[in-house]
Protein backbone atom coordinates (compact mmCIF):
# COMPACT_ATOMS: atom_id res chain seq x y z
CA UNK A 1 0.00 0.00 0.00
CA UNK A 2 1.04 3.63 -0.43
CA UNK A 3 0.42 5.51 2.83
CA UNK A 4 0.24 9.32 3.08
CA UNK A 5 1.02 10.53 6.60
CA UNK A 6 0.79 14.15 7.78
CA UNK A 7 2.71 15.05 10.92
CA UNK A 8 3.89 17.97 13.06
CA UNK A 9 2.24 21.38 12.92
CA UNK A 10 1.62 24.15 10.39
CA UNK A 11 2.66 27.79 10.79
CA UNK A 12 0.67 30.74 9.40
CA UNK A 13 2.77 33.85 8.88
CA UNK A 14 1.77 37.13 10.53
CA UNK A 15 4.57 38.95 8.71
CA UNK A 16 8.05 37.97 7.56
CA UNK A 17 9.42 37.60 11.09
CA UNK A 18 6.46 36.15 13.06
CA UNK A 19 3.87 33.39 12.69
CA UNK A 20 1.18 31.42 14.51
CA UNK A 21 2.38 27.88 15.08
CA UNK A 22 0.49 24.79 16.12
CA UNK A 23 2.58 22.90 18.64
CA UNK A 24 3.35 19.32 17.57
CA UNK A 25 6.62 17.43 17.75
CA UNK A 26 5.82 14.95 14.98
CA UNK A 27 6.81 12.02 17.20
CA UNK A 28 3.60 10.06 16.57
CA UNK A 29 3.90 10.64 12.82
CA UNK A 30 7.49 9.39 12.95
CA UNK A 31 6.44 6.25 14.84
CA UNK A 32 3.56 5.67 12.38
CA UNK A 33 5.88 6.05 9.38
CA UNK A 34 8.36 3.57 10.84
CA UNK A 35 5.62 1.00 11.55
CA UNK A 36 4.19 1.21 8.03
CA UNK A 37 7.69 0.96 6.53
CA UNK A 38 8.51 -2.08 8.70
CA UNK A 39 5.33 -3.73 7.44
CA UNK A 40 6.57 -3.29 3.86
CA UNK A 41 4.47 -0.30 2.78
CA UNK A 42 5.51 2.88 0.94
CA UNK A 43 5.26 6.08 3.03
CA UNK A 44 4.87 9.69 1.89
CA UNK A 45 5.40 11.86 4.99
CA UNK A 46 4.17 15.47 4.88
CA UNK A 47 5.98 16.92 7.90
CA UNK A 48 5.82 20.37 9.53
CA UNK A 49 9.03 22.44 9.45
CA UNK A 50 9.94 21.58 13.06
CA UNK A 51 8.65 17.98 13.08
CA UNK A 52 11.03 15.13 13.86
CA UNK A 53 11.12 12.57 11.04
CA UNK A 54 12.52 9.04 10.50
CA UNK A 55 15.99 8.51 9.05
CA UNK A 56 16.17 8.55 5.26
CA UNK A 57 15.36 5.15 3.78
CA UNK A 58 14.02 3.41 0.71
CA UNK A 59 10.22 3.59 0.37
CA UNK A 60 10.09 6.82 2.41
CA UNK A 61 9.53 10.27 0.87
CA UNK A 62 9.63 13.28 3.22
CA UNK A 63 8.08 16.59 2.14
CA UNK A 64 8.27 19.63 4.42
CA UNK A 65 5.06 21.61 4.92
CA UNK A 66 4.98 25.25 6.07
CA UNK A 67 1.36 26.44 6.11
CA UNK A 68 -2.15 25.23 5.31
CA UNK A 69 -1.82 26.33 1.67
CA UNK A 70 1.31 24.20 1.19
CA UNK A 71 -0.44 21.26 2.88
CA UNK A 72 -3.36 21.56 0.43
CA UNK A 73 -0.97 21.65 -2.53
CA UNK A 74 0.92 18.56 -1.35
CA UNK A 75 -2.35 16.73 -0.64
CA UNK A 76 -3.61 17.41 -4.16
CA UNK A 77 -0.31 16.06 -5.52
CA UNK A 78 -0.09 12.82 -3.50
CA UNK A 79 -3.67 11.90 -2.57
CA UNK A 80 -4.84 10.50 -5.93
CA UNK A 81 -2.21 7.71 -5.82
CA UNK A 82 -2.45 6.90 -2.10
CA UNK A 83 -4.31 3.97 -0.55
CA UNK A 84 -4.31 5.24 3.04
CA UNK A 85 -4.15 8.72 4.59
CA UNK A 86 -3.22 9.20 8.25
CA UNK A 87 -3.84 12.90 8.84
CA UNK A 88 -2.24 13.47 12.25
CA UNK A 89 -0.92 16.97 11.55
CA UNK A 90 -1.90 19.83 13.85
CA UNK A 91 -3.30 22.18 11.19
CA UNK A 92 -3.82 25.89 11.88
CA UNK A 93 -7.54 26.69 12.25
CA UNK A 94 -7.04 30.39 11.52
CA UNK A 95 -4.65 32.50 9.51
CA UNK A 96 -3.85 36.15 10.33
CA UNK A 97 -5.16 38.68 7.81
CA UNK A 98 -4.45 42.05 9.45
CA UNK A 99 -2.82 43.43 12.59
CA UNK A 100 -2.94 47.01 13.81
CA UNK A 101 -2.91 49.02 17.00
CA UNK A 102 -5.84 48.80 19.40
CA UNK A 103 -6.69 52.53 19.33
CA UNK A 104 -7.25 52.49 15.56
CA UNK A 105 -9.72 49.62 15.91
CA UNK A 106 -11.45 51.10 18.97
CA UNK A 107 -11.90 54.44 17.16
CA UNK A 108 -13.45 52.85 14.09
CA UNK A 109 -17.22 52.70 13.68
CA UNK A 110 -17.06 49.74 11.33
CA UNK A 111 -15.10 46.67 12.39
CA UNK A 112 -16.05 44.86 9.18
CA UNK A 113 -13.76 47.18 7.25
CA UNK A 114 -10.75 45.53 8.90
CA UNK A 115 -11.61 42.09 7.52
CA UNK A 116 -10.58 43.15 4.03
CA UNK A 117 -7.33 44.83 5.06
CA UNK A 118 -3.83 43.44 4.76
CA UNK A 119 -0.49 44.63 6.15
CA UNK A 120 2.02 46.06 3.69
CA UNK A 121 5.19 45.99 5.73
CA UNK A 122 7.50 43.01 5.94
CA UNK A 123 7.57 43.54 9.69
CA UNK A 124 4.52 45.07 11.33
CA UNK A 125 5.47 48.08 13.44
CA UNK A 126 5.18 47.69 17.17
CA UNK A 127 4.79 50.96 19.06
CA UNK A 128 1.38 50.77 20.72
CA UNK A 129 0.66 49.09 24.08
CA UNK A 130 -2.10 46.91 22.64
CA UNK A 131 -2.63 45.45 19.21
CA UNK A 132 -5.53 43.68 17.53
CA UNK A 133 -5.16 40.83 15.07
CA UNK A 134 -7.89 39.73 12.67
CA UNK A 135 -7.87 36.10 11.59
CA UNK A 136 -9.95 34.09 9.14
CA UNK A 137 -10.73 30.40 9.13
CA UNK A 138 -8.46 28.23 7.01
CA UNK A 139 -9.93 25.68 4.57
CA UNK A 140 -10.55 22.35 6.33
CA UNK A 141 -8.07 20.06 4.58
CA UNK A 142 -9.60 16.89 6.08
CA UNK A 143 -12.96 17.61 4.46
CA UNK A 144 -11.36 17.61 0.98
CA UNK A 145 -9.62 14.24 1.26
CA UNK A 146 -12.53 11.95 0.31
CA UNK A 147 -13.61 14.44 -2.35
CA UNK A 148 -10.22 14.16 -4.07
CA UNK A 149 -9.91 10.40 -3.55
CA UNK A 150 -13.16 8.64 -2.49
CA UNK A 151 -11.42 5.25 -2.28
CA UNK A 152 -8.67 6.24 0.14
CA UNK A 153 -8.82 4.84 3.69
CA UNK A 154 -8.91 7.94 5.89
CA UNK A 155 -7.68 8.25 9.50
CA UNK A 156 -8.46 11.68 10.96
CA UNK A 157 -7.33 13.05 14.34
CA UNK A 158 -9.10 15.10 16.98
CA UNK A 159 -7.08 16.71 19.77
CA UNK A 160 -8.96 18.24 22.68
CA UNK A 161 -7.75 19.52 26.04
CA UNK A 162 -9.01 18.21 29.39
CA UNK A 163 -12.41 16.80 28.38
CA UNK A 164 -14.34 13.63 29.30
CA UNK A 165 -14.18 10.36 27.33
CA UNK A 166 -17.80 10.97 26.29
CA UNK A 167 -16.95 14.39 24.86
CA UNK A 168 -13.90 12.97 23.00
CA UNK A 169 -15.90 10.14 21.45
CA UNK A 170 -18.79 12.46 20.63
CA UNK A 171 -16.53 14.93 18.78
CA UNK A 172 -14.78 12.06 17.00
CA UNK A 173 -18.09 10.54 15.86
CA UNK A 174 -19.21 13.87 14.42
CA UNK A 175 -15.91 14.28 12.56
CA UNK A 176 -16.22 10.71 11.24
CA UNK A 177 -19.56 11.48 9.62
CA UNK A 178 -18.81 15.02 8.49
CA UNK A 179 -15.50 14.17 6.80
CA UNK A 180 -16.50 10.67 5.60
CA UNK A 181 -13.48 9.36 7.53
CA UNK A 182 -13.06 5.65 8.14
CA UNK A 183 -11.44 6.21 11.53
CA UNK A 184 -10.93 9.15 13.89
CA UNK A 185 -8.29 8.99 16.58
CA UNK A 186 -9.47 11.12 19.50
CA UNK A 187 -6.96 12.18 22.12
CA UNK A 188 -6.63 14.60 25.00
CA UNK A 189 -3.51 16.75 25.45
CA UNK A 190 -3.58 16.19 29.22
CA UNK A 191 -3.11 12.45 28.60
CA UNK A 192 -0.12 12.76 26.27
CA UNK A 193 3.44 12.82 27.58
CA UNK A 194 6.80 11.15 26.98
CA UNK A 195 5.68 7.74 28.25
CA UNK A 196 1.92 7.62 27.60
CA UNK A 197 -0.45 8.59 24.80
CA UNK A 198 -4.03 7.71 25.67
CA UNK A 199 -6.36 7.63 22.65
CA UNK A 200 -9.63 6.26 21.32
CA UNK A 201 -9.87 5.06 17.73
CA UNK A 202 -13.48 5.57 16.65
CA UNK A 203 -15.04 3.94 13.59
CA UNK A 204 -18.51 2.92 12.47
CA UNK A 205 -19.94 -0.55 11.97
CA UNK A 206 -23.44 -1.61 10.88
CA UNK A 207 -24.42 -1.75 14.53
CA UNK A 208 -23.03 1.63 15.64
CA UNK A 209 -19.76 3.26 16.64
CA UNK A 210 -16.76 1.08 17.52
CA UNK A 211 -14.24 2.41 20.05
CA UNK A 212 -10.77 0.95 20.48
CA UNK A 213 -8.43 2.22 23.20
CA UNK A 214 -4.63 2.70 23.07
CA UNK A 215 -2.24 3.80 25.81
CA UNK A 216 1.07 4.53 24.05
CA UNK A 217 2.29 5.89 20.70
CA UNK A 218 3.51 2.39 19.80
CA UNK A 219 0.07 0.92 20.49
CA UNK A 220 -1.57 3.65 18.41
CA UNK A 221 0.84 3.07 15.50
CA UNK A 222 0.37 -0.72 15.62
CA UNK A 223 -3.42 -0.35 15.72
CA UNK A 224 -3.50 2.07 12.78
CA UNK A 225 -1.28 -0.18 10.64
CA UNK A 226 -3.43 -3.23 11.47
CA UNK A 227 -6.69 -1.38 10.73
CA UNK A 228 -5.28 -0.03 7.46
CA UNK A 229 -4.30 -3.49 6.24
CA UNK A 230 -7.59 -5.04 7.39
CA UNK A 231 -9.66 -2.36 5.66
CA UNK A 232 -7.54 -2.49 2.50
CA UNK A 233 -7.98 -6.28 2.32
CA UNK A 234 -11.74 -5.98 2.82
CA UNK A 235 -11.97 -3.34 0.07
CA UNK A 236 -9.72 -5.24 -2.34
CA UNK A 237 -10.54 -8.88 -1.57
CA UNK A 238 -8.39 -11.14 -3.75
CA UNK A 239 -5.88 -8.39 -4.69
CA UNK A 240 -2.35 -7.79 -3.39
CA UNK A 241 -1.65 -4.96 -0.97
CA UNK B 1 35.24 36.80 30.33
CA UNK B 2 31.80 35.32 30.96
CA UNK B 3 29.61 35.97 27.91
CA UNK B 4 25.80 35.72 27.98
CA UNK B 5 24.37 35.10 24.50
CA UNK B 6 20.66 34.98 23.62
CA UNK B 7 19.70 33.23 20.41
CA UNK B 8 16.76 31.89 18.40
CA UNK B 9 13.20 33.12 18.94
CA UNK B 10 10.61 33.22 21.74
CA UNK B 11 7.08 31.81 21.51
CA UNK B 12 4.08 33.34 23.29
CA UNK B 13 1.27 30.85 23.86
CA UNK B 14 -2.24 31.58 22.56
CA UNK B 15 -3.58 28.47 24.26
CA UNK B 16 -2.11 25.05 25.03
CA UNK B 17 -1.91 24.01 21.39
CA UNK B 18 -0.98 27.27 19.57
CA UNK B 19 1.49 30.11 19.96
CA UNK B 20 3.00 33.14 18.22
CA UNK B 21 6.60 32.39 17.27
CA UNK B 22 9.36 34.71 16.18
CA UNK B 23 11.25 33.06 13.33
CA UNK B 24 14.97 32.64 14.06
CA UNK B 25 17.18 29.64 13.45
CA UNK B 26 19.78 30.49 16.08
CA UNK B 27 22.61 30.04 13.58
CA UNK B 28 24.26 33.40 14.33
CA UNK B 29 24.03 32.72 18.08
CA UNK B 30 25.67 29.32 17.54
CA UNK B 31 28.50 30.88 15.50
CA UNK B 32 28.96 33.60 18.16
CA UNK B 33 29.10 31.02 20.95
CA UNK B 34 31.70 28.97 19.10
CA UNK B 35 33.88 32.03 18.44
CA UNK B 36 33.82 33.16 22.08
CA UNK B 37 34.59 29.60 23.25
CA UNK B 38 37.49 29.31 20.78
CA UNK B 39 38.89 32.55 22.20
CA UNK B 40 38.89 30.98 25.67
CA UNK B 41 35.80 32.63 27.16
CA UNK B 42 32.92 31.09 29.12
CA UNK B 43 29.54 31.14 27.33
CA UNK B 44 26.02 31.00 28.77
CA UNK B 45 23.67 30.48 25.82
CA UNK B 46 19.97 31.27 26.31
CA UNK B 47 18.47 29.54 23.26
CA UNK B 48 14.89 29.42 21.92
CA UNK B 49 13.20 26.01 21.87
CA UNK B 50 13.86 25.48 18.14
CA UNK B 51 17.27 27.17 17.95
CA UNK B 52 20.28 25.22 16.75
CA UNK B 53 23.08 25.20 19.35
CA UNK B 54 26.76 24.18 19.49
CA UNK B 55 27.80 20.68 20.58
CA UNK B 56 28.10 20.22 24.34
CA UNK B 57 31.50 21.29 25.62
CA UNK B 58 33.33 22.58 28.65
CA UNK B 59 32.79 26.29 29.35
CA UNK B 60 29.40 26.21 27.57
CA UNK B 61 26.05 26.23 29.42
CA UNK B 62 22.88 25.99 27.31
CA UNK B 63 19.52 27.05 28.77
CA UNK B 64 16.34 26.68 26.72
CA UNK B 65 13.98 29.67 26.66
CA UNK B 66 10.27 29.42 25.80
CA UNK B 67 8.69 32.86 26.17
CA UNK B 68 9.58 36.43 27.18
CA UNK B 69 8.84 35.68 30.84
CA UNK B 70 11.32 32.79 30.89
CA UNK B 71 13.91 35.01 29.14
CA UNK B 72 13.51 37.67 31.85
CA UNK B 73 13.93 35.06 34.58
CA UNK B 74 17.09 33.63 33.01
CA UNK B 75 18.49 37.13 32.45
CA UNK B 76 17.98 38.04 36.10
CA UNK B 77 19.78 34.82 37.08
CA UNK B 78 22.85 35.13 34.79
CA UNK B 79 23.27 38.86 34.12
CA UNK B 80 24.85 39.90 37.46
CA UNK B 81 27.87 37.62 36.90
CA UNK B 82 28.34 38.26 33.16
CA UNK B 83 30.91 40.56 31.56
CA UNK B 84 29.35 40.71 28.10
CA UNK B 85 25.77 40.27 26.80
CA UNK B 86 25.08 39.58 23.13
CA UNK B 87 21.29 39.81 22.87
CA UNK B 88 20.62 38.43 19.39
CA UNK B 89 17.35 36.66 20.23
CA UNK B 90 14.20 37.49 18.26
CA UNK B 91 11.97 38.38 21.20
CA UNK B 92 8.17 38.52 20.84
CA UNK B 93 6.96 42.15 20.85
CA UNK B 94 3.40 41.17 21.83
CA UNK B 95 1.75 38.40 23.79
CA UNK B 96 -1.86 37.25 23.17
CA UNK B 97 -4.29 38.07 25.97
CA UNK B 98 -7.69 37.10 24.55
CA UNK B 99 -9.15 35.56 21.41
CA UNK B 100 -12.81 35.37 20.48
CA UNK B 101 -15.09 35.34 17.46
CA UNK B 102 -15.41 38.46 15.32
CA UNK B 103 -19.18 38.86 15.76
CA UNK B 104 -18.86 39.13 19.54
CA UNK B 105 -16.31 41.93 19.17
CA UNK B 106 -18.25 43.72 16.41
CA UNK B 107 -21.45 43.65 18.50
CA UNK B 108 -19.76 45.12 21.57
CA UNK B 109 -20.01 48.83 22.28
CA UNK B 110 -16.84 48.84 24.38
CA UNK B 111 -13.70 47.32 22.92
CA UNK B 112 -11.71 48.23 26.05
CA UNK B 113 -13.60 45.54 27.96
CA UNK B 114 -11.78 42.88 25.91
CA UNK B 115 -8.35 44.04 27.09
CA UNK B 116 -8.97 42.61 30.56
CA UNK B 117 -10.37 39.27 29.37
CA UNK B 118 -8.58 35.94 29.26
CA UNK B 119 -9.52 32.62 27.69
CA UNK B 120 -10.46 29.79 30.04
CA UNK B 121 -10.23 26.81 27.74
CA UNK B 122 -7.03 24.87 27.10
CA UNK B 123 -7.88 25.05 23.41
CA UNK B 124 -9.87 28.03 22.16
CA UNK B 125 -12.95 26.90 20.22
CA UNK B 126 -12.91 27.54 16.50
CA UNK B 127 -16.33 27.66 14.93
CA UNK B 128 -16.67 31.19 13.54
CA UNK B 129 -15.39 32.36 10.15
CA UNK B 130 -13.40 35.23 11.63
CA UNK B 131 -11.72 35.67 14.98
CA UNK B 132 -10.12 38.60 16.75
CA UNK B 133 -7.06 38.38 18.95
CA UNK B 134 -6.05 41.02 21.48
CA UNK B 135 -2.36 41.34 22.28
CA UNK B 136 -0.38 43.43 24.73
CA UNK B 137 3.19 44.64 24.52
CA UNK B 138 5.77 42.46 26.27
CA UNK B 139 8.34 44.04 28.64
CA UNK B 140 11.43 45.17 26.68
CA UNK B 141 14.12 42.84 28.02
CA UNK B 142 16.96 44.83 26.42
CA UNK B 143 16.01 47.95 28.40
CA UNK B 144 16.48 46.09 31.71
CA UNK B 145 20.00 44.77 31.01
CA UNK B 146 22.02 47.85 32.04
CA UNK B 147 19.67 48.42 34.96
CA UNK B 148 20.47 44.96 36.35
CA UNK B 149 24.18 45.14 35.53
CA UNK B 150 25.47 48.63 34.62
CA UNK B 151 29.00 47.31 34.02
CA UNK B 152 28.12 44.68 31.43
CA UNK B 153 29.19 45.27 27.82
CA UNK B 154 25.92 45.17 25.87
CA UNK B 155 25.43 44.20 22.22
CA UNK B 156 21.82 44.69 21.10
CA UNK B 157 20.30 43.68 17.74
CA UNK B 158 17.84 45.40 15.41
CA UNK B 159 16.23 43.43 12.60
CA UNK B 160 14.26 45.35 9.98
CA UNK B 161 12.82 44.27 6.64
CA UNK B 162 13.69 45.93 3.34
CA UNK B 163 14.82 49.39 4.51
CA UNK B 164 17.67 51.73 3.54
CA UNK B 165 21.09 51.80 5.23
CA UNK B 166 20.18 55.23 6.64
CA UNK B 167 17.02 53.87 8.24
CA UNK B 168 18.91 50.88 9.70
CA UNK B 169 21.64 53.07 11.20
CA UNK B 170 19.09 55.59 12.46
CA UNK B 171 17.06 52.93 14.28
CA UNK B 172 20.25 51.38 15.67
CA UNK B 173 21.48 54.74 16.97
CA UNK B 174 18.18 55.35 18.76
CA UNK B 175 18.30 51.89 20.35
CA UNK B 176 21.91 52.50 21.41
CA UNK B 177 20.93 55.60 23.37
CA UNK B 178 17.60 54.35 24.69
CA UNK B 179 18.95 51.04 26.01
CA UNK B 180 22.40 52.35 27.03
CA UNK B 181 23.86 49.65 24.75
CA UNK B 182 27.53 49.72 23.83
CA UNK B 183 26.87 48.32 20.37
CA UNK B 184 23.81 47.67 18.20
CA UNK B 185 24.02 45.27 15.28
CA UNK B 186 21.54 46.43 12.66
CA UNK B 187 20.54 44.02 9.91
CA UNK B 188 17.91 43.64 7.20
CA UNK B 189 16.08 40.35 6.65
CA UNK B 190 16.32 40.78 2.87
CA UNK B 191 20.12 40.70 3.16
CA UNK B 192 20.34 37.52 5.23
CA UNK B 193 20.55 34.10 3.63
CA UNK B 194 22.62 30.92 3.81
CA UNK B 195 25.78 32.52 2.39
CA UNK B 196 25.55 36.19 3.35
CA UNK B 197 24.57 38.21 6.40
CA UNK B 198 24.98 41.92 5.78
CA UNK B 199 25.06 44.00 8.98
CA UNK B 200 26.19 47.30 10.48
CA UNK B 201 27.64 47.40 13.99
CA UNK B 202 26.84 50.81 15.41
CA UNK B 203 28.55 52.30 18.46
CA UNK B 204 29.27 55.77 19.81
CA UNK B 205 32.59 57.55 20.16
CA UNK B 206 33.34 61.04 21.46
CA UNK B 207 33.09 62.32 17.92
CA UNK B 208 29.81 60.66 16.93
CA UNK B 209 28.45 57.29 15.79
CA UNK B 210 30.86 54.65 14.50
CA UNK B 211 29.59 52.21 11.86
CA UNK B 212 31.38 48.96 11.02
CA UNK B 213 30.14 46.73 8.22
CA UNK B 214 30.08 42.91 8.05
CA UNK B 215 29.03 40.63 5.21
CA UNK B 216 28.81 37.13 6.71
CA UNK B 217 27.88 35.49 10.03
CA UNK B 218 31.56 34.62 10.55
CA UNK B 219 32.59 38.26 10.05
CA UNK B 220 29.88 39.39 12.47
CA UNK B 221 30.96 36.84 15.10
CA UNK B 222 34.65 37.76 14.74
CA UNK B 223 33.86 41.48 15.00
CA UNK B 224 31.72 41.05 18.11
CA UNK B 225 34.39 38.93 19.87
CA UNK B 226 37.09 41.50 19.00
CA UNK B 227 34.97 44.45 20.16
CA UNK B 228 34.07 42.63 23.39
CA UNK B 229 37.70 41.96 24.26
CA UNK B 230 38.79 45.48 23.28
CA UNK B 231 36.04 47.09 25.39
CA UNK B 232 36.68 44.77 28.32
CA UNK B 233 40.41 45.61 28.25
CA UNK B 234 39.65 49.34 28.08
CA UNK B 235 37.25 49.06 31.06
CA UNK B 236 39.60 46.85 33.10
CA UNK B 237 43.05 48.17 32.14
CA UNK B 238 45.70 46.14 33.93
CA UNK B 239 43.39 43.24 34.87
CA UNK B 240 43.06 39.78 33.30
CA UNK B 241 40.11 38.93 31.07
Give the span between the Cα atoms of B148 and B150, in whole angstroms.
Answer: 6
- Cβ atoms A32, A224 nearer than 8 A: yes
DSSP type of residue B31: H
Model pLDDT, residue A239: 65
Chain B residues 81-140 with CB within 8 Å of chain A: 90, 92-94, 102, 105-106, 111-112, 115, 121-123, 126, 128-137
Model pLDDT, residue A238: 61
Give the span between the Cα atoms of B190 and B183, in whole angstroms.
Answer: 22
Q: Which residues of chain B lie closer than 8 angstroms to A123, CB-CB?
A: 159-161, 189
- Cβ atoms A27, A50 nearer than 8 A: no
Q: Does A159 touch chain B (CB under 8 A)?
A: yes
Q: Which residues of chain B lie closer than 8 angstroms to A93, CB-CB?
A: 126
Model pLDDT, residue A127: 81
DSSP type of residue B195: S
Give the span between the Cα atoms of B180 and B158, in whole angstroms.
Answer: 14
Considering only the beta carbons, identify the residue of A131, A136, A190 that sits closest to B135.
Answer: A131
Cβ atoms within 10 Å, residue A185: 25
- Distances B43 to A116, A180, B50, B67, B78 between C-alpha atoms, Å: 48, 55, 19, 21, 11
Q: Which residues of chain A lie closer than 8 angstroms to B18, CB-CB?
A: 20-23, 92
CA-nearest of A87, A2, A53, A32 to A226 is: A32
Best residue in A8, A9, A19 for a mutation probing chain B (most B CBs within 10 Å)? A19
Cβ atoms within 10 Å, residue B55: 7
- Distances B89 to A73, A106, A196, B28 between C-alpha atoms, Å: 33, 32, 34, 10
Considering only the beta carbons, identify the residue of A105, A134, A190 that sits closest to B130.
Answer: A134
Which tens digit of pLDDT belongs to each residue from A29-78?
999 999 999 999 999 999 999 999 999 999 999 999 999 999 999 999 99
Adjacent-strand bridge partners of B85: B4, B154
How sure is the predictor about B79, in pLDDT bands with cuts at 50, 70 and 90? very high
Q: How many CB pairs under 8 A join A and B?
A: 117
Considering only the beta carbons, identify the residue of A21, A90, A133 that sits closest to B135.
Answer: A133
Q: Do A134 and B102 touch (CB under 8 A)?
A: yes
CA-nearest of A149, A204, A153 to A176 is: A204
How sure is the predictor about B32, in pLDDT bands with cuts at 50, 70 and 90? very high
Q: H/E element holding B22?
A: strand B18-22
As a residue count, chain B comes to 241
Q: Does A23 touch chain B (CB under 8 A)?
A: yes
Model pLDDT, residue B120: 80
Cβ atoms within 10 Å, residue B142: 23
Give the span between the Cα atoms of B170 and B28, in whole angstroms.
Answer: 23
CATH architecture of the region A2-93+138-235: 3-Layer(aba) Sandwich (3.40)
Angle separating helix axes B68-78 and B141-148, nearest 10 degrees: 10
Q: Do B20 and A20 touch (CB under 8 A)?
A: yes
Q: Which residues of chain A lie closer than 8 angstroms to B22, CB-CB?
A: 17-18
CATH code 2.60.40.10 for B2-93+139-235? no
Model pLDDT, residue B241: 67
Q: Does B226 touch chain A (CB under 8 A)?
A: no
Angle separating helix axes B27-38 and B217-235, nearest 10 degrees: 50
Question: Which DSSP string do the residues of B125-187 spell out, in sequence order?
Answer: ---SSEEEEEEEEPP-HHHHHHHH-TTSEEEEEEEESS--HHHHHHHHHHHHHHTT-SEEEEE
* B171: CB partners within 8 A, 6+ apart: B158, B160, B186
* Model ipTM value: 0.88
Mean pLDDT of B5-30: 95
How sure is the predictor about B238, in pLDDT bands with cuts at 50, 70 and 90? low
- Cβ atoms B30, B112 nearer than 8 A: no
Give the span between the Cα atoms of B221 and B235, in whole angstroms.
Answer: 21
Which tens digit of pLDDT belongs to each residue from B117-176?
998 867 777 789 999 999 999 999 999 999 999 999 999 999 999 999 999 999 999 999
Helix (H, G, I), strand (E, B) or coil at A226: helix
Looking at chain B, the domain(s) classified CATH 3.40.50.10300 span 2-93+139-235
Measured in angstroms, the CA of B219 and the nearest CA of chain A are apart by: 23
DSSP type of residue B117: -
Question: Which DSSP string do the residues of A27-85 spell out, in sequence order?
Answer: HHHHHHHHHHHHTT-EEEEEEETT---PPP-TTEEEEEE-SHHHHHHHHHHHGGG-SEE
Query: Which residue in chain B has the smallest CA separation from A160?
Result: B123
Q: What is the pLDDT along chain A (241 residues), one digit of tens a residue?
A: 999 999 999 999 999 899 999 999 999 999 999 999 999 999 999 999 999 999 999 999 999 999 999 999 999 999 999 999 999 999 999 999 999 999 999 998 889 999 999 988 677 777 899 999 999 999 999 999 999 999 999 999 999 999 999 999 999 999 999 999 999 999 999 999 888 999 999 999 988 899 999 999 999 999 999 999 999 999 988 666 6
Model pLDDT, residue B37: 98
Looking at chain A, the domain(s) classified CATH 3.40.50.10300 span 2-93+138-235
**Own/partner long-range contacts of B33-42 (Cβ < 8 Å, ≥24 apart):** B33/B5, B33/B7, B33/B60, B34/B221, B35/B221, B35/B222, B35/B224, B35/B225, B36/B1, B36/B3, B36/B5, B36/B225, B36/B228, B39/B225, B39/B229, B40/B241, B41/B1, B41/B2, B41/B3, B41/B241, B42/B1, B42/B2, B42/B3
Question: Which DSSP string do the residues of A156-211 spell out, in sequence order?
Answer: EEEEESS--HHHHHHHHHHHHHHTT-SEEEEEEEEEESSS-EEEEEEEEETTEEEE
Which tens digit of pLDDT belongs to each residue from B173-213?
999 999 999 999 999 999 998 889 999 999 999 888 999 99
Angle separating helix axes A68-78 and A141-148, nearest 10 degrees: 10
The values of phi and psi at residue A12, to 5°, are -105, 120
Of the candidate ranges B20-29, B80-89, B125-134, B207-216, the one whose mean pLDDT is the lowest: B125-134
Model pLDDT, residue B196: 94
Give the span between the Cα atoms of B156 and B62, in whole angstroms.
Answer: 20
- Cβ atoms B179, B143 nearer than 8 A: yes
Amino acid sequence: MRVLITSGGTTENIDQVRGITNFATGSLGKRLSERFLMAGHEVILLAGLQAIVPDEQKALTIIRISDVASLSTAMARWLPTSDVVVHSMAVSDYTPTYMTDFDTVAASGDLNSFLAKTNDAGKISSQSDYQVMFLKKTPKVISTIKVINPNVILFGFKLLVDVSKEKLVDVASQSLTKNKADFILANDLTEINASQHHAFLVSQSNSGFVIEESHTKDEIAALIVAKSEETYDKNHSGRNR
